[in-house]
A = this chain, B = another copy of it.
């Protein structure tokens, strides 16, 4: 069976980095068709919408989406519904991509890149599982209204709704427990149950689902404490599961602990393992078109694509090992360069991974 892969490079450095990941996917001898479509600001410029219908249709009929990055300062003044990031929210919602997997791994060769002391982060390998289609991201009602009573009566107020339905929590809980089973069997659920009703509801369901996974040790942590513990002793975590907004914050914080966000992939999956794969970093418009961006996070995202959506674990291993090999050879793009290593361009890094395959 031929797999269709939707290739959505997006804005900024998106094209350059996705191109290298496509070269890698093409070199594996698998039966793949890649179809490209515009997304984000680029799509807005061409079609007046960051997620044109044809792009969404392509994404829907594909086995997986290889996504670059979206966003550029020049779209900042657009109304929210036309801004590039709406494309990614629209893809998540329309495809039901509820499970976001964000590994935070510090490659031993890059231990110095971190702003943390090497002993605190070297060998870091944690997995953050963020729920991606619920919570305050999509909850209704939301908007601006006039306050009807209380001390601010008559004023305007902005408001949003945080919410999780039972089955939404159950399904992300299962993703968390199953991931923990394949790793060190420790799952930490992060919430704010001392303040939020949504969190207490979330926590109760986590405890209930845990009964089906007696081999996994479930713990709970408040979000403020989790933000601290990630700085203090990140290696004490194995798998973290949390809601959409807390996961947005924690996954970025965890990524930055490594000091090499240019290395970190992500996967966003739905119930049928259709997925969107993208680097954890952004579109970096300041360096776009210069052939200096790090393509490895995107190449590693392609490896996740092989593993989760195409069920090609052996091919995924090959790609991940090739990335380790180029690091071992001392090749570095500018973002992770340090004295004693060899600085290479985006395309040279792609060449090296291809050669190492």
Q: Which residues of A are interface residues toward B (Cβ below 8 A)?
A: 80, 83, 85, 89, 115-117, 120, 136-137, 139, 142-144, 147, 152, 155-168, 192, 194-202, 223-225, 227-233, 245, 248-253, 255-257, 259, 261
- Out of B120, B142, B167, B199, which one reaches A197, CB within 8 Å? B142
A80-B200 CB under 8 A given contacts A195-B89, A256-B231? yes
The answer on a CB contact under 8 Å between A201 and B144 is: yes
The answer on a CB contact under 8 Å between A160 and B198 is: yes
A158-B201 CB under 8 A given contacts A117-B117, A165-B147, A194-B83? yes
CA distance A159 to B134 in the complex (A): 11
The secondary structure that dominates the A interface is helix
What residues on B are CB-neighbors of A155 within 8 Å? 165-167
CA distance A261 to B225 in the complex (A): 12
A245-B164 CB under 8 A given contacts A159-B197, A231-B115, A256-B231? no
* Nearest-CB residue, chain B, relative to A158: B201
The answer on a CB contact under 8 Å between B233 and A252 is: no
What residues on B are CB-neighbors of A116 within 8 Å? 115-117, 231
What residues on B are CB-neighbors of A253 within 8 Å? 227-228, 230-231, 253
The answer on a CB contact under 8 Å between B137 and A152 is: no
* Nearest-CB residue, chain B, relative to A226: B249
CA distance A225 to B198 in the complex (A): 24
Min CB gap A141→B, angstroms? 9
What residues on B are CB-neighbors of A120 within 8 Å? 115
The answer on a CB contact under 8 Å between A252 and B232 is: no
* Nearest-CB residue, chain B, relative to A119: B115
The answer on a CB contact under 8 Å between B165 and A152 is: yes
Min CB gap A320→B, angstroms? 24
Min CB gap A73→B, angstroms? 12
The answer on a CB contact under 8 Å between A166 and B157 is: yes
The answer on a CB contact under 8 Å between A233 and B115 is: yes
What residues on B are CB-neighbors of A136 within 8 Å? 136, 162, 195-196
A159-B198 CB under 8 A given contacts A115-B117, A165-B147? yes
CA distance A230 to B197 in the complex (A): 29
* Nearest-CB residue, chain B, relative to A201: B158
CA distance A164 to B152 in the complex (A): 10
Min CB gap A124→B, angstroms? 12
- Out of B158, B162, B167, B248, which one reaches A199, CB within 8 Å? B158
- Out of B80, B142, B159, B161, which one reaches A159, CB within 8 Å? B161
A85-B197 CB under 8 A given contacts A163-B158, A228-B252, A256-B232? no
- Out of B83, B157, B252, which one reaches A165, CB within 8 Å? B157
